[in-house]
Amino acid sequence: MSFKKYFSYVRVSTQRQGQTGTSLTEQLSAIENYAGRYNLEITKQYEERETAAKTGRPVFLEMLKALKQNKAHGIIIHKIDRSARNLKDWAELGTLIDLGVEVHFANESLDLNSRGGRLSADIQAVVASDYIRNLREETKKGIYGRLKQGLYPFPARVGYLDAGKGKPKEIDRIQAPLVKKAFELYSRGNIGLNALVEKMHESGLRNKNNKKISRNGLVCMLKNPFYTGLIKIDVTGELFVGQHPPIVSKKLFTKAQDVFEGKNNKKQIKHFFVFTKHLFCKECQNILIPEKQKGHIYYRCHAKNCPQKTIREELIEVELLEIYRKLAFNQVETALMRQEIEDYKRSEPSKAEAMKNQLLMNLEQINTRLNKLADAYVDEIFDKETYLQKKNQIILEQQQIRQQLQRITANSGDTIKQVEEFLELLNKAYLSYKLGQPEEKRHLVKISTSNFAVEGKSVSIKLKKEFELVAERPRFPVGSPQLATSRTFSAFFKKLIAHFSTLKKTCEN
């Protein structure tokens, strides 16, 4: 007797269910009994430990892909609610049924090829989806109830420890003093966030994964009133009085927030200016000298008889911020860039291999040329001086090719990583400058611009090549024709990749 080939799919909603195995055992037993009763051969079992409340379950999606590729006649599932607690996944199954894929439920006798059976299954799927929505609402009520009690129903923040269900967080005696130290240092207003990240890492401050706290993580910590004994819900902005002990005082927390808002910033170095030695007078090419008067910073050309008057730093920053704002990618450009990066990652290995093969072929040709050159010298076609000159030229070519081979082997993927880091910098440039400390602003100016030419009250900003490529890119507003936009953006992306590849080679040489 011939057996049809089927997949089986089982799912547990929680890690606890997956560890105990009770739910899995029941599901597998029911599926195996069903398959034996109807002579269905299970060739592969898919097991998932994810909630079905949302789409995107990797194992489920992998199984759907395999079914679409006709790797099995159908699938056996324990019950409808194991697959259909969100309607999108149920719609995916419905599409497979329409394509002729058999879908069986071990615990429900439903003929999905009939109108009545399909309707009954649709109703059960809707009920399962509604169950999840109701469960989500009940969960929200439970969380809100905990918050009203002053309990934080989520994992402990850095500086605290979980004390158990229904209990307030406890002070972490190792990390809490370091958290307080971070607040104290930042509230003085004389240290930037990047410097503070490094200093606190050296002091021993770590996140919950025992790793270095990122700049963004540090900002979230310094802005979180949880450390003063309050619980704030970010989505609604609602505050609750927590039962957990505070790590910092309200006064210290307020000082740190004042620094973020620029109310308490102090310069560690006297007379520090963002654009020192970066502004040039367009008239006489001299460097403009900064000076502070009445709370404002001015840049002045001190050349004798130069008509250039002073320019305020705020005017320069307006121009610079506008450039940084335009450098950031919009939603359409971001999507296109992600696609280009993924395409590049897929195609780059084969391109690198093709280039490697071409270089190896070039090496063989060079060896052949060297042999012919030696034969010509032996046959006295040219003298020794000419022979050595030609040989040296060929040897130099040979060395260059070998270096290229080494770079391809050693630096695979480095270019695209550099591009990704650059794109992240672009999207953060505006806020990084606007919210950064003077030292951070100056660093950003130095890495993104060449110089500023000042004429009267206007300033011409020269960007470095990679930033200039982005600034001069074609614009892609929402609603652009997709094909034309993709082709144009692809050409821009290739220019960017070529620039970073050239930059890498220049640095290596």
Residues 6 or more apart in contact with residue 90 via CB below 8 angstroms: 83, 84, 122, 125, 129
Spatial contact of 89 and 52, defined as CB atoms under 8 Å apart: yes
Cα separation, 76 vs 112, in Å, equals: 13
pLDDT per position as a tens digit, 2-23: 467 889 888 776 554 444 444 7
Residue 450, pLDDT score:
87
The amino acid present at 456, given as its one-letter code, is G
Within the chain, all domains assigned CATH 3.40.50.1390 are found at 4-136
pLDDT per position as a tens digit, 46-85: 887 765 455 557 888 888 888 888 888 888 888 776 555 5
Residues 6 or more apart in contact with residue 338 via CB below 8 angstroms: none
Q: Is 199 exposed, middle or buried (0-12, 13-18, 19+ CB in 10 A)?
A: middle
Within the chain, all domains assigned CATH 3.90.1750.20 are found at 160-260
The amino acid present at 131, given as its one-letter code, is Y
Mean model confidence pLDDT for the chain: 80
SS (H, E, C) 288-347: CEEEEECCEEEEECCCCCCCCCCEEHHHHHHHHHHHHHHHCCCHHHHHHHHHHHHHHHHH
The amino acid present at 246, given as its one-letter code, is P
Read off the tokens for 277: 């030695």
- Torsion sign (Cα): 333, 339, 343, 348: positive
Under the phi-then-psi rule, with left for phi > 0, alpha for psi from -120 to 50, and beta for the rest, what region is 229?
left
Residue 456, pLDDT score:
87
Query: What's the topology of domain 4-136?
Result: Rossmann fold (3.40.50)
Average pLDDT on 482-486 reads 56
Spatial contact of 341 and 333, defined as CB atoms under 8 Å apart: no
Average the pLDDT over each of 8-17, 21-30, 243-252 and give the range with the smallest value.
8-17
Banded pLDDT at 176 (limits 50, 70, 90): very high
What φ, ψ does residue 104 adopt, rounded to 5°? -115, 145
Distances in Å between the Cα of 329 and the Cα atoms of 217, 221, 333, 424 are 24, 28, 5, 10
pLDDT per position as a tens digit, 265-277: 554 445 678 898 8
Q: How far is CA 358 from the centre of its chain?
A: 35
Read off the tokens for 472: 């001069």
Residue 74, pLDDT score:
87
Task: Give the DSSP letter of residue 287.
Answer: B
Cα separation, 368 vs 346, in Å, equals: 35
Residue 105, pLDDT score:
81
Residue 507, pLDDT score:
43
Closest residue by Cα to residue 387 from 372, 402, 397, 398:
372
pLDDT per position as a tens digit, 294-349: 888 999 888 888 888 889 999 999 999 999 998 888 888 888 888 888 887 777 77
H or E element in which residue 48 lies: strand 40-48
Cα separation, 162 vs 170, in Å, equals: 6
Spatial contact of 464 and 450, defined as CB atoms under 8 Å apart: yes
Query: What's the topology of domain 160-260?
Result: Hect, E3 ligase catalytic domain fold (3.90.1750)
Spatial contact of 183 and 274, defined as CB atoms under 8 Å apart: no
Cα separation, 342 vs 381, in Å, equals: 55
3-state SS class at 459: strand
The sheet that has 279-281: what strands, in order across it? Answer: 279-281, 449-455, 458-463
Cα separation, 160 vs 179, in Å, equals: 10
Residue 17, pLDDT score:
46
Residue 495, pLDDT score:
81
pLDDT per position as a tens digit, 424-478: 888 899 999 988 888 899 999 998 998 899 988 889 999 988 898 888 887 766 5
Read off the tokens for 11: 């799912």
- Contacts of residues 451-455 at CB distance under 8 Å and 24 or more positions apart, as own/partner, are 451/278, 451/279, 451/280, 452/275, 452/278, 452/279, 452/280, 452/316, 453/280, 453/281, 453/282, 454/279, 454/280, 454/281, 454/282, 454/288, 454/299, 454/301, 454/308, 454/311, 455/282, 455/283, 455/308
